Amino acid sequence: MASTYYQYVILIFLYVASTATADSIQGCGGFVEASSELIKSRKSSDPKLDYSNIIVELRTLDGLVKERTHCAPNGYYFIPVYDKGSFLIKVNGPEGWSWDPEQVPIAIDHTGCNGNEDINFRFTGFTVSGRIVGNVGGESCSLKDGGPSNVKVELLSPAGDVVSSALSTPRGIYSFTNIIPGKYRLHASRHDLNVQVRGSAEIELGFENRIVEDFFFVPGYDIRGSVVAQGNPILGVHIYLYSDDVTNVDCPKGSKYSSGDLGLKEALCHSVTDANGIFSLKFLPCGKTLHFC
Q: How far apart are the first and last CA of the chain?
A: 113
pTM over 0.95, yes/no: no
If DSSP codes are grouped into helix, strand and coil, which group holds residue 37? helix
Q: What is the pLDDT of residue 196?
A: 92
> Per CATH, is 25-119 categorized as 1.50.10.10?
no
DSSP 160: S
Sign, CA torsion 124/33/27/57: negative
Mean pLDDT score of the chain: 83
Mapped onto helix, strand or coil, the DSSP state of residue 89 is strand
User: Of the given ranges (44-48, 83-87, 137-141, 200-204), which has the lowest mean pLDDT?
Assistant: 137-141
pLDDT at 266 over 90: no
> In the prediction, which pLDDT does 17 show?
38
Looking from the CA of 6 toward its CB, the CA atoms found within 13 Å total 3
Q: What are phi and psi of 262, to 5 degrees?
A: -95, 5
The answer on pLDDT for 23 being more than 70 is: no
**How many Å apart are CA 207 and CA 181, to the nearest integer?**
6
Higher-pLDDT residue of 6 and 149 is 149
> pLDDT by residue (tens digit) across 32-72?
999 999 999 998 888 888 999 999 999 999 999 999 999 99
User: Does residue 124 register a pLDDT over 50?
Assistant: yes
- The pLDDT value recorded for residue 252 is 61
User: How do residues 152-209 score in pLDDT, each as one tens digit?
Assistant: 999 999 999 999 999 999 899 999 999 999 999 999 999 988 899 988 899 999 999 9
pLDDT value of position 13: 37
Position 281 scores a pLDDT of: 79
Tell me which of 23 and 234 has the higher pLDDT. 234
Choice between 267 and 49, residue whose per-residue pLDDT is larger:
49
pLDDT of 292 reads 60
Domain 125-218: give its CATH superfamily: Immunoglobulins (2.60.40.10)
The domain ranges of the chain are 25-119, 125-218, 221-292
Same fold? 25-119, 125-218: yes
Q: Beta partners for 55?
A: 70, 92
Q: Say yes or no to pLDDT of 137 above 60.
A: yes
pLDDT tops 80 at residue 16: no
* Higher pLDDT, residue 218 or 249: 218
d(CA 84, CA 46): 43
Q: Which residue has the higher pLDDT, 290 or 157?
A: 157
Please say if the pLDDT value at position 7 is more than 80. Answer: no
